[in-house]
Amino acid sequence: MGSTPTFGGVAIDCPDPAALAGFYRALLDWAEPDVTPDGHWARLANPLGGARLEFQRVVDYRAPEWPSTEKPQQAHVDLDVTDLEAAHERVLSLGAKLLDDSPKTFRVYADPVGHPFCLCAC
């Protein structure tokens, strides 16, 4: 079963992860976010369990316009796995394309129409 992912969370591009996480923390009445020391990533844990919200800093961030094809929505899905290698093989067999395998604890893929997502063994 290690090759079947579970829904981990959604990562949202933004210029200031701590600030945006603070907004959603207040909106949802969740606990304070965990923010990496460099400030490039913030994570809000769902107090009821389940999916988390994550925020990643993007240099020269351009806010999406809805609806728009010029500046589409900017987010990707993180899927948690216990066996990254088995999950990697499975997702490729389903039609995903590997975009980045340089990180040690996660890999970035594109779904069949190009939306990015990550398999995370973090």
In the sheet with 34-35, reading across from the earlier edge strand, the strands are: 34-35, 41-44, 52-57, 6-14, 75-80, 116-120, 106-110, 97-100
Q: Which residues of 11-35 are buried (b: 16+ CB within 10 A; e: fewer)?
A: bbbbeebbebbbeebeeeebeebeb
Please write the tens of the pLDDT for every residue from 29-43: 999 999 999 999 999
pTM exceeds 0.85 = no
Contact 42, 34 (CB under 8 A): yes
Regions of the chain with pLDDT less than 50: none
Sequence-ordered list of residues with C-beta below 8 angstroms from that of 71, at least 6 positions apart, any chain: 62, 63, 64, 65
Structure tokens at 36: 């990496």
| Domains of the chain with CATH codes | 6-120 (3.10.180.10)
What was the pLDDT predicted at 74?
75
What was the pLDDT predicted at 73?
72
What was the pLDDT predicted at 72?
80
